[in-house]
Amino acid sequence: MTAEDDGLFALPQADDAPPGPPEAATESPRADAPLAVRMRPRSLAEVVGQAHLLRPGAPLRRLAEGGEAASVLLYGPPGTGKTTLARLMAAVAARQFVALSALTSGVKELRDVMNGARRRRDGQGRRTVLFIDEVHRFSKTQQDALLGAVEDGLVLLVAATTENPSFSVVSPLLSRLLVLQLQPLDEDDVRELLRRAVKDERGLDGAVCVTPEAEDVLVRLAAGDARSAMTALEASADGVTGTGGTVVDVPAVERAVAETTVRYDRQGDQHHDVVSAFIKSVRGSDPDAALHYLARMLVAGEDPRFIARRLVVHASEDVGLADPTALQAAVAAAQTVQLIGMPEARLALAQATVHLAMAPKSNSVITGIDEAMSDVRAGAVGEIPAHLRHSRYTGARELGNGIGYRYPHRVPEGVLAQQYPPGDLVEKDYYRPTRHGGERDLHERLTRLRRVVRGEER
């Protein structure tokens, strides 16, 4: 649904349409509009949350109050007030408000808006506020089409996105915008909005009451999303009043809301954030947090093969030989995903997650191979010692290949003094085991092995 369709904005249908009064863009929605639409704040005084952006003198507050401000990009999760704040900007006198959705608009629509803004500025002296919802869905060409208008102030752009703008907005446009990050509403904010919606004549007008326990459930289900809170409340109230009741209790909420929607976009910012939190929780040895993030990925429909691959990588990257069974557990989970699939494979993924989270940690494997590769790239590729070179071809012995090689199994200990690396790397230690878990014993063994191989111990 676009901004023009949902009753939020009263937009002129032609550029030469007479401007309405300042409140035209915030006129009351229809009585049959969704509760979330009916309860949208009509002034800054009604806005709940985002205090860090709306304090006196803050750029967003100045813009909403009619002061001059830079074009802005509102970045935050759904239901945090991006569209509401843009709607309030439409009420500022002497400004023309135009709303576009990146889902339905293209370069042609942008060009029409710019032409109208130019006529409005030159003929009427009026500023145009252009609100673009879901701006991250614009292509690079469409985003580039905004550059000139924003640069010379032809429009005051207010763009909104749920995606990290560093990933989804082209750099030239991003550099021209003041990026303001909106935060999820806290529980008190959501609670205030629910109570207001129950009592306000625009909302449920006292037709129902909500028990404290049901209110707690609604707050939890909202997860900081005001729109979700309003939607769940409306569905719960409809279910109660439809049967002649007046009390919204926990069973009523449970009947109306089968399952909370997990905020997770497999191609977007939330995907990266949840995966990052998952791996860092495993690395940080917190199995409870790791299971939480695993559950978020699974409930949101993440490909279990992707999760399994991350666990396999983590097993060597962050556990390594501190627990040699960690890689086996991760590989077994990946094989289970392939052989059995979901939902049963969730058990193997959870088992591997807990195993890796509780395992002693060591990054010695990754630091060792990365240092070795760095040296090779830097040119540390000296001559292979002659006694290690391949000698099973005609003429090899004449070249000195294999001569002097000592076979370790000919001594009782199975290890003997012999040069293996190129000459300039003889004393280079790439693998440095920690004192964690299984690497404690490996540290002692490797110290002895190095002394013997390097001829420091007989």
Is pLDDT larger for residue 58 or for residue 68? 58
Region 180-195: mean pLDDT is 91
Region 22-29: mean pLDDT is 48
Q: Counting every residue, how long is the chain?
A: 458
The whole-number pLDDT of residue 454 equals 87
Query: Rounded CA gap, 420 and 8, in Å?
Result: 74
Most confident of 37-46, 350-359, 430-439: 350-359
Task: Give the torsion sign (CA, 202, 207, 212, 215).
Answer: negative
Q: What is the pLDDT of residues 202-223, one digit of tens each?
A: 999 999 999 999 999 899 888 8
The whole-number pLDDT of residue 22 equals 33
Q: Quick check: 99 pLDDT over 90?
A: no
Compute CA distances 448 → 323, 417, 419, 444, whole Å.
21, 12, 16, 7
Dig out the tokens for 391 from the structure.
């000698």
Residue whose structure tokens are 């209790």 = 249
The whole-number pLDDT of residue 20 equals 36
Region 12-41: mean pLDDT is 60
The mean predicted confidence, pLDDT, of the chain is: 83
Region 279-297: mean pLDDT is 92
Q: Quick check: 162 pLDDT over 80?
A: yes
The whole-number pLDDT of residue 354 equals 95
